[in-house]
Amino acid sequence: MPALVLLHAFPLDRGMWDHETRALADAASPLIAPSFPGFGRSEVPRLQPTLDDYADAVVQVMDAAGVRRAAVAGCSMGGYVAFALWRRHRDRVAGLSLVDTRAEADTAEAAANRVRLAEQVRARGVEALLEAPPKLLRDGSPRWPELRALIRRQPAEAVAQASIALSLRPDSTADLATIDVPTAVVVGEHDEITPRPFAERMADAVPGASLSVIPDAGHLSNLEAPEAFERAMRAWLRRVP
């Protein structure tokens, strides 16, 4: 069975994958869910990191675990880091799962909003983000208290740094046609941040990619529909050498 690396969304940490690290233990080994630098009680970088820096940190975790090549699943920001991994370390990637993410870079307006968010979080802490949180869950989701607690445990500086790193990410659209490993594109039915059309464009552009739409889920489809998400992951992992 393949090794599996799970890359978390913004502004969370490896804790968003708690269900998967248990449920997929019979489908992938070892199973690694790192927190990006600054998140999940890791040391906050002294200098502003890029998504390339996050990707390099993932490779360091793989090296420490003795994993040469792995299937890589990234949700939202984790998907952007997965693209960086593909560009910088594609020999380490045995398969890709792009979950509730997109290949396109931010518009100028969206990038400016991320920079403003970083300034607000640095000034007032992560509560500034929670005052008007991104639409991470579908309307009426019961998972919001759990998600809020996960956000609150992240250092404000790590969240601010990640927001800026996201604003600076390159467009990955041209990379899609170069992906020659088993690829699954997964999107929540009610994802309002990276809706289904973004997923469809990625699935169409990656040779042989599959597309899974997770019912009753928003932008964090694994949290809202864990069983359906697990089925999609298992189908993908069976394709990874």
Global pTM value? 0.97
SS3 24: coil
- The CATH homologous superfamily to which domain 4-237 belongs is Alpha/Beta hydrolase fold, catalytic domain (3.40.50.1820)
| H or E element in which residue 183 lies | strand 183-188
CA distances in angstroms from 75 to 128, 155, 220, listed in the order given = 23, 20, 7
DSSP one-letter string for 87-134: HHHGGGEEEEEEES--SSPPPHHHHHHHHHHHHHHHHH-THHHHHS--
Which residues 6+ apart lie within 8 Å of 191 measured at CB?
Answer: 100, 217, 218, 219, 221
* Per-residue model confidence as pLDDT tens for the chain (241 residues): 999 999 999 999 999 999 999 999 999 999 999 999 999 989 999 999 999 999 999 999 999 999 999 999 999 999 999 999 999 999 999 999 999 999 999 999 999 999 999 999 999 999 999 988 889 999 989 999 999 999 999 999 999 999 999 999 999 999 999 999 999 999 999 999 999 999 999 999 999 999 999 999 999 999 999 999 999 999 999 999 9
**Domain locations along the chain:** 4-237
The first and second tokens of residue 86, run together, are 């593909």
